[in-house]
Amino acid sequence: MVAFHLKTTALALAFAAGMATQGMAAEPTLDLVGPLSEYKLYVAENTAQLVTDTEAFVAAIKAGDVEKAKSLFAPTRMSYERIEPIAELFSDLDGAIDARADDYEKAEADEAFTGFHRIEYALWVESSTDPVQGYADQLLTDVKALDARINELTFPPEVVVGGAAALMEEVAATKISGEEDRYSRTDLWDFDANFAGSEKIYDLLKPLIAEKDPAFVTKTDANFKAVDDVLAKYRKDGGYVSYVELTDADRTVLSTRVNTLAEDLSTLRGMLGLN
Amino acid sequence: MGQSDRDTGPSRRRVLIGLGAGVAGAFAQEAAADAPMVNDAPHGDAQTAAQSVPFHGPHQAGITTPRPAAGIMVAFDLAITGPEDLDRMLRLLTERAEFLTQGGPVPERDPRLPPADSGLLGPVVAPDNQTITVALGDALFERFDWLRPLKPAHLQRMVQFPNDALVAGQCHGDMTIQFCANLQDTNIHALRDIMKNLSEFLVIRWMQQGDVPPVPPAPDGSTPSARNFFGFRDGSANPDSNDAALMDRIVWVGAEEPAWARGGSYQAVRLIRNFVERWDRTPLGEQERDFGRRKMSGAPLDGGPHATERDVPDYARDPEGKITPLDAHIRLANPRRPETEKNLILRRAFNYSNGVTKNGQLDQGLLFICYQADLDAGFIAVQNRLNGEKMEEYLKPFGGGYFFALPGVAGPGDYLGSGLIAAARSL
Ligand code: HEM
User: Among partner residues B109, B112, B200, which is closest to A256 by beta-carbon distance?
Assistant: B200
A141 touches chain B (CB under 8 A): no
- Give me the pLDDT at residue B148, please: 97
Q: Predicted ipTM?
A: 0.85
Q: What is the mean pLDDT of residues B161-176?
A: 97
Length of chain B, please?
A: 427
Cα–Cα distance for residue pair A20/A17, rounded to 1 Å: 8
CA geometry: angle at B210 spanning B204 and B215, to 5°? 155
Interface A:B, Cβ pairs < 8 A? 49
Residue A12 lies in a domain: no
DSSP state of A125: I
Residue A23 lies in a domain: no
Check if the beta carbon of residue B62 is closer than 8 Å to that of residue B101. Answer: no
CA distance A270 to chain B (A): 5
Residue A148 lies in a domain: yes
Test mutation, A263, A264, A268, chain B, max B CBs within 10 A: A263
A248 touches chain B (CB under 8 A): yes
Question: pLDDT, tens digit, for every residue of B343-362?
Answer: 999 999 999 999 999 999 99
The per-type count for chain B, helices as H runs and strands as E runs, is 11, 11
- List all residues 6 or more positions away from A126 whose beta carbon is below 8 Å from its beta carbon: none
Question: pLDDT, tens digit, for every residue of B42-75?
Answer: 888 899 999 999 999 999 999 999 999 999 999 9
Query: What pLDDT band is residue B427 in, cutting at 50, 70 and 90?
Result: confident
Residue A257 lies in a domain: yes
Which residues of B are less than 8 Å from A158 in CB distance?
A: none
Q: Is residue A6 helix, strand or coil?
A: helix
Question: pLDDT, tens digit, for every residue of B121-136?
Answer: 999 999 999 999 999 9
Mean pLDDT of chain B: 93
Residue A6 lies in a domain: no
Residue range of the domain that includes A139: 30-272
Higher per-residue pLDDT: A178 or B146 = B146
CA distance B110 to chain A (A): 5
The domain total for chain A is: 1
Check if the beta carbon of residue B365 is closer than 8 Å to that of residue B229. Answer: yes
Q: Is residue B302 helix, strand or coil?
A: coil
- Whichever domain contains A66, its CATH number is 1.20.1420.20
Label the pairing between strands B175-181 and B131-137: antiparallel
Domain ranges of chain B: 48-425
Of B179, B180, B165, B168, the C-alpha closest to B206 is B168
User: Among partner residues B78, B113, B200, which is closest to A25 by beta-carbon distance?
Assistant: B113
Question: pLDDT, tens digit, for every residue of B202-212?
Answer: 999 999 999 99
Q: What is the mean pLDDT of residues B356-370?
A: 97
Ranges in chain A, pLDDT < 70:
1-29
Label the pairing between strands B362-372 and B265-274: antiparallel
Could you tell which of B158, B229, B234 is best to mutate to test the pocket of ligand 1, judged by most ligand atoms within 8 Å of the CB? B234
Cα–Cα distance for residue pair B53/B61, rounded to 1 Å: 7
Of B396, B356, B355, the C-alpha closest to B273 is B396
Q: What is the mean pLDDT of residues B220-240?
A: 95
Q: How far does Cα A266 stand from its chain's mean position? A: 15
Residue B4, Cβ density class (10 Å: 0-12 exposed, 13-18 middle, ≥19 buried): exposed
Ligand 1 midpoint to CA B335 (Å): 12
Check if the beta carbon of residue B272 is closer than 8 Å to that of residue B397. Answer: yes
Instruction: Reply yes or no on whether the pLDDT at B7 is more than 80.
Output: no
User: Nearest residue CA, atom 30 of ligand 1?
Assistant: B383
DSSP state of A247: -
Q: What is the pTM of this model?
A: 0.90
Cα–Cα distance for residue pair A137/A151, rounded to 1 Å: 22
- List all residues 6 or more positions away from B160 whose beta carbon is below 8 Å from its beta carbon: B166
Q: Establish whether residue B87 lines the binding site of ligand 1, counting it when its CB lies within 6 angstroms of any ligand atom.
A: no
State the helix-helix crossing angle for A157-170 and A33-62, rounded to 10 degrees: 50
Which residues of A are less than 8 Å from B78 in CB distance?
A: 252
Residue A241 lies in a domain: yes
B43 is in an annotated binding site: no
- Give me the pLDDT at residue A31, please: 87
- Give me the pLDDT at residue A62, please: 97
Q: What are phi and psi of A31, to 5 degrees?
A: -60, -25
Query: What pLDDT band is residue B32 in, cutting at 50, 70 and 90?
Result: low
E strand or H helix at B359: none
Amino acid of residue A152: E
Q: Which sign does the torsion angle of CA A72, A78, A83, A85 carry?
A: positive
- Give me the pLDDT at residue B292, please: 97
B235 is in an annotated binding site: yes
Q: What is the mean pLDDT of residues B179-189?
A: 98
Amino acid of residue A178: G
Residue A99 lies in a domain: yes
Of B158-172, B216-230, B266-280, which gets the smallest average pLDDT?
B216-230
- Give me the pLDDT at residue A29, please: 63
CA distance A209 to chain B (A): 15
B293 is in an annotated binding site: yes
